[in-house]
Amino acid sequence: MVHVLFCCTLLAVLVKGQISDLRYTETSNDNLAEAIQFLREFDREAAEMCNRVANAEWRFSTNATEFNKRRMREQQNLAAKFECITWRRAVAFDSSRIIDTSIRRQLGRIVQQGRCGLGEDKHTELQHVLALLKDNYNNAKVCPYRGQESSDGGTFSGYKSSNYVTGYSGYCDLKITPDLVRIMETSRSEPELRYYWIAWHEKTGPPVRNTFMRYLDLANQAAERHGFHDAGEQMRSVYEDEDFFFTVNDLWGQLQPLYKQLFSFVRKGLVRQYGEHVVRRDGPIPAHLLGNMWAQNWRHIMDIIKPGPLESPDVTGEMVRQGYTPLKMFQTAEEFFTSIGLPPMAPEFWRNSMLQSPTDSAGQCSASAWDFCNKVDFRIKQCTQVSLDDFINAHHEMTHIQYYMQYASQPFLYREGPNPAFHEALANAVALSVGGPAHLQKIGLLSSSITVANGNTVINIEYLLNLALDKLPFMAFSIALEKWRWYVFEKGPVGMNARWWELRLRYQGMIPPTGRAFEHFDAGAKFHVISDQDYIKYFVATVLQFQIFSELCLAANHYGPLHTCDFYRSREAGRILSDVMQQGASLTAAQLIKLLTRGKTSRLSVDPLLEFFRPLEAWLEAQNRDEEIIGWSSRMEDVALFQPLMGRNGHSPSAALSAGWTLLPVLLGGLIVTARV
């Protein structure tokens, strides 16, 4: 998943400066003229600050020297101080009594978010805590798997995790990117996958467990000073939906039947590959077998799960044969946007962007789109390879640039999406059009002899399956992660690792590959958790991207199955896309959805997503007709992996049984608990 750098934000997560220990309370200042003057000054100063930070971050990102790192930190610290000064000025206004809705909305965007309500000492401590958490993650390295035998002559079972981390000779220098990511994607050795899963979770979680608990406390204190019950409520507030918690639940409830069909199909392939002693035919799936450290994307095990007749055309090979280069891929992306009536890239884009790996410096290769906050300079950084994935990524990143360009005339506080999901949703809606067989055929990367108009052809089913393996597990993982974080913000950290796996089991059907105990902190193996980054945006963005795609296809007068749509060359689709983009954050997400759908609805809907995957769902149902269960059945042994069952007086299950207790699995909300009968 590509992550976009929103350099124009005020870097709330890096705040470190002079702030007073005051609680957020509205005051009596409702002077509209003063508020307008304050926002006018802020608009100019914030854009200048953002530009300096973006330039410093760009230099470090493309040339990661210690000097550039220091300069970047200096600019980030200045921006942090500016943010907190701005926050203190903004809370002096009683925005509820200011009649101008735009002024009130801009003031609210300053006041509600961030952590500037903490006192200086605690604010400094919070930033120190976050730095410790991120440093531990970024510096974590594990030893290579040797397949050694244990001291008693047997093969390592994977349950003595300390041996897995330290028990090998040689250089222990494998990092999550690119080393472990590649291994998890390509290895088909279950012991090796289990080894790396355990090693990574040991290195990242337990060392910072107590540090993370301090972060929870400080984040909650900051949220309270900004007028929220806890930090989870503050994170949800950016979606401007009072029922957001229940909205997410309802959306997932509608998607769950499709996810369970995909899950059952994937499990069948894993049983074939690894055997029933590793994956139970009716049970959950061990989390290390899905081709990803967090089991959030299953695309990389397509070779294991797909039936024999399916075979993808070699689009990457065709690109090589036709002489595609990184530059040509981005020029082709630009032509896609000009074909629907959007403007071409400015000369500054082509002059300043980094479209392939730097040869003379140590740059970071994660793809990202950059706004330098001066309404002129927009860039992409991508270490592009000639491949279908990077071809689609080029369009994805250029959609972000188009968004920056379209809302550049808005006030600074509106130069972003209305919520954290909109940027990603728009970029992925374009990717749905570009990555489909219909578009690839139009631009000559797929043979014209292949039938794509009929949604049930082999090539379409494989395309849908590959996309479903990318989208649906990611949605399940994101809702499990965020529900866990909201829970620990509200209820506290007691039993938080067991809670992590309860939610992973409930939403994803995942269990750990080995027993987890009180001292483990497996959520800490995911960077977004320890770096204080919102994650539900990916769930929302996935729902929203299909809504956007459906509306653009309707505007393009598409007929036939939704997944065969391509709005390339549709000026009407481009007009709607431009209308939505130009608003930036000046409208709420609900208002933008209403604009997008031309008044039909203002709410998120999974109907377009379900329509998109309907041919695949029918195909999966046929493939799963002999399965014992669609979904997963959890047994006591599954739950015992992460929540050891205790009898009376704290005895173990065996002791409880000998004392006359019977442990039965009881299903409550998708989870297994114990009952005495």
Name the residue with tokens 């503050």.
234
Q: Are 146 and 138 in contact (CB under 8 A)?
A: no
Instruction: Say if residue 558 carries a ligand binding annotation.
Output: no
The span from the CA of 11 to the CA of 410, in Å, is 20
Instruction: Say if residue 239 carries a ligand binding annotation.
Output: yes
Question: Angle at the Cα of 288 (from 282 to 290), degrees rounded to 5?
Answer: 70
The H or E element spanning position 639 is helix 636-640
The span from the CA of 491 to the CA of 504, in Å, is 18
Instruction: Say if residue 396 carries a ligand binding annotation.
Output: yes
Q: What are phi and psi for residue 309, nearest 5 degrees?
A: -65, -25
Per the structure block, which two tokens stand in for 673? 């608990």
* DSSP secondary structure of 344-395: PPPHHHHHH-B-S--SSS----S-EEEE-SSSS-EEEE----SSHHHHHHHH
Say if residue 178 is preceded by a cis peptide, omega within 30 of 0.
yes
At residue 93, the 3 state secondary structure works out as: strand
Catalytic residue among 397, 462, 482, 551: 397
528 part of the active site: yes
Catalytic residue among 226, 528, 558, 563: 528
Per the structure block, which two tokens stand in for 402? 């188009």
Q: Are 524 and 530 in contact (CB under 8 A)?
A: yes
Cα dihedral 276, 277, 283, 286 sign: negative
Instruction: Say if residue 324 carries a ligand binding annotation.
Output: no
Cα-Cα end-to-end distance for the chain: 48
At residue 170, the 3 state secondary structure works out as: coil
Q: Within a 10 A sphere around the Cβ of 371, how many other Cβ atoms?
A: 27
201 part of the active site: no
- From the annotation, which residues make up the binding site? 239, 396, 400, 424
Binding residues for chloride: 239
Residues that are catalytic: 397, 528
- Binding-site residues for Zn(2+), please? 396, 400, 424
